[in-house]
Amino acid sequence: MFDILYKFEGTQFENLVLSQPLLPLETICQLENFCKHSFNVVNNFKIEKLQNKKIIVPIDYQSTPLAYERRNCQSDTSDLGKQVESFLHEVHNLNLIDKNIIILLYTSTEPYFHDNHVFLSKLANTFNNFKFVISGSGEVECLLPGNKTKLDECQNVKLINKLWYVDRVQYNTQLIYPDQWLDRHFKNSEKSPSNDIEEYATVYNKFLLTMRNARSHRVLMSMFIESDPFGLENVRYSRLWSLDPGYLNSIFFDENTKSEHRYQVDLVTTAIKELTKLKLSDHDLAKIIKVSLKMPHKLDMKTIAEVGHPPKWLYENIDIAVIAGGEGTGYGYVDEKQLIPMYYKVPFITFGCKGIYEELSKLGFDTYEKYIDISYNTKDKMYDRVKGCYDVMNSIKQLPHDEYTQLIESMNDSVEHNYNQLVSSNFRNNSNNNFFDEVVNVCC
């Protein structure tokens, strides 16, 4: 059993503006119903109500920087970082000397970005009587390993992954109003296409792949598909990015999208820059540039102003969804993109960072590995993971009709299992128990 300690009611800070509404730790995890560990919530620093030796002090900083880190262990603390540091002094002054204090610094909206090692090491050294657990929905690639070494030297710091964003998405879509799923993350109420949707967007197809923003792994997949003369034959496909000057001008001179212009240019150029580091052949690099200069492939979204919540009709009359993950490097980042085909009861394959399938499996989801070769996701190089996914698509579409039909039908039980595992919240038992087992062990 452990205590969860807050300075205020379910939060440590007043009037804190984050990227999404703050949910208390016990709420986002639904601990009351889905955790083998019991807990006691203490609000308003009423330490007389503490009941246990182990005390978790949660701080969800979401997508807000705690520090601005540079090479050679140079770092500037952000406004939120200063608030966190001041708050930890308050916790220290509570004089809970006989307790195991665990400071849980986590982001419930994204993977852990390795961008605050110096700041965290400073906290860990200043408050060496506290244990620190750092957590995100997986993690991205560390670009400053020299700075990370400074944090690795701190014996009271532990990095523990948890699929927080899966918790958040399921809470947003189902638990706020249990009798009426909101159109959050996907448009469950849009069951029929509008009259202006082109016919090619609704006819039967084997695969569905939709991509709104450019990321290096998505740009690479677009190269494989669009440079293959037969790449689009079996794919209901879209990407909404392009470096075509006319397209970029249309974004800039539209008041509804003008603010997106710089962001879109940065996304595509950064993705291409990252791909140049992969030591690709000149031929592949030329194809990447050529595809990136083509006009977008539009499907359900007419302009970049749309947020890209897939409507239900888009998932009708397709057999397998191909999901472009949120990150191309790092480990284990799962977000709403892998959950949407579960809600719509469609089997899926996914590509991006390593560990997506492994982390989904830990939550009790079926990854379809009995039917499809998903070993590509274990490859160290991003190129091999994306190419491997494309090769799987090619092998599936080349199956004889009877074998293909049998493959799709064989996955029905797994599709139903994933849907039930998600909407019943059963996945939370694995997610919470695995995570809090590790957190409790930090105290040992």
Predicted confidence at residue 281, as pLDDT, reads 92
For the cut 80, the answer to whether the pLDDT of residue 179 exceeds it is no
Same domain, 207 and 314: yes
From the list 46, 40, 82, the residue with the least C-alpha distance to 61 is 82
Please say if the pLDDT value at position 180 is more than 80: no
Compute the average pLDDT of residues 291-298. 94
| pTM of the model as a whole | 0.93
DSSP states of 203-226 as a string?
S-EEEEEEE-S--HHHHHHHHHHH
Residue 127 has pLDDT above 90, yes or no: yes
pLDDT in tens, 15-68: 888 888 899 999 999 999 999 999 999 999 999 999 999 999 999 999 899 999
Report the distance separating Cα 271 and Cα 215, nearest Å. 5
Inform me whether the pLDDT recorded for 73 exceeds 90. no
- Tell me what percent of the residues of the chain surpass a pLDDT of 70: 99
Quick one: tokens of 440? 């409790």
Q: How does residue 113 score in pLDDT terms, banded at 50, 70 and 90?
A: very high
Among 31, 24, 27, 29, CA closest to 6: 24
Residues 242 and 332 in one domain: yes
**Domain harbouring 272, CATH code:** 3.40.50
The DSSP-derived string for 139-166 is BPPPS-HHHHHHHHT-TTEEE----HHH
Indicate if 132 and 248 belong to the same structural domain.
no
Residues 405 and 436 in one domain: no
pLDDT for position 306 = 84
Q: Say if CB 206 and CB 234 are below 8 A apart.
A: yes
Q: Which domain holds residue 217?
A: 192-410
pLDDT band for 273, please (50, 70, 90 cuts): very high
Distance CA 235, CA 208 (A): 6
258 within 8 A of 305, measured Cβ to Cβ: no
Say whether both 53 and 152 belong to one domain. yes
Q: What pLDDT digit, counting tens, does each position of 393-404 carry?
A: 999 999 999 999
Residue type, 70: R
Q: How many folded domains does the chain comprise?
A: 2
Which residue is it, tokens 């083509």?
Answer: 294
Model confidence at 135, pLDDT cuts 50, 70, 90, reads very high
**178 pLDDT exceeds 80?**
no
Name the phi and psi angles at 207, rounded to 5.
-125, 155
For residue 416, being part of any structural domain is answered with: no
- Region 208-224: mean pLDDT is 96
Q: Specify if 52 maps to a domain.
A: yes
Residue 196, pLDDT > 90, answer: no
Q: Is the pLDDT of residue 177 over 80?
A: no
Q: What is the pLDDT of residue 390?
A: 97
Bridge partners of residue 132, in order along the sequence: 103, 157
Rounded Cα gap, residues 217 and 213, in angstroms = 11
Nearest in space to 245 (alpha carbons), one of 226, 264, 272: 264
Q: Taking residues 314-341, what's their average pLDDT?
A: 96
pLDDT at 27: 97
Q: In three state form, how does the secondary structure of 68-105 look?
A: EEECCCEEEECHHHHHHHHHHHHHHCCCCCCCEEEEEE
Q: Contact 132/349 with Cβ under 8 angstroms?
A: no
Instruction: Give the span between the Cα atoms of 386 and 373, in whole angstroms.
Output: 13
Average pLDDT, the chain: 94
With beta carbons less than 8 A apart as the criterion, state whether 220 and 288 touch. Answer: yes
- Could you tell me if 150 and 232 lie in one domain? no
- The answer to whether residue 222 sits within a structural domain is yes
Assigned domain for 422 exists: no
Residue 205 and residue 335 in one domain: yes
Residue 442 is predicted with a pLDDT of 81
Q: What residues contact residue 319 under an 8 Å CB cut-off, 6+ apart?
A: 205, 206, 207, 346, 347, 408
230 has a pLDDT exceeding 90: no
- Residue 392: inside a domain: yes
d(CA 131, CA 102): 5
Q: Are residues 153 and 197 in the same domain?
A: no
Torsion over CA of 220, 226, 231 and 233, rounded to 10 degrees? 140
Q: Are residues 54 and 83 in the same domain?
A: yes
Residues 244, 389 within the same domain: yes
Tell whether 201 and 158 lie within a shared domain: no
E strands along 136-189, which residues?
A: 157-159
Same-domain check for residues 67 and 13: yes
In a domain, 161, yes or no: yes
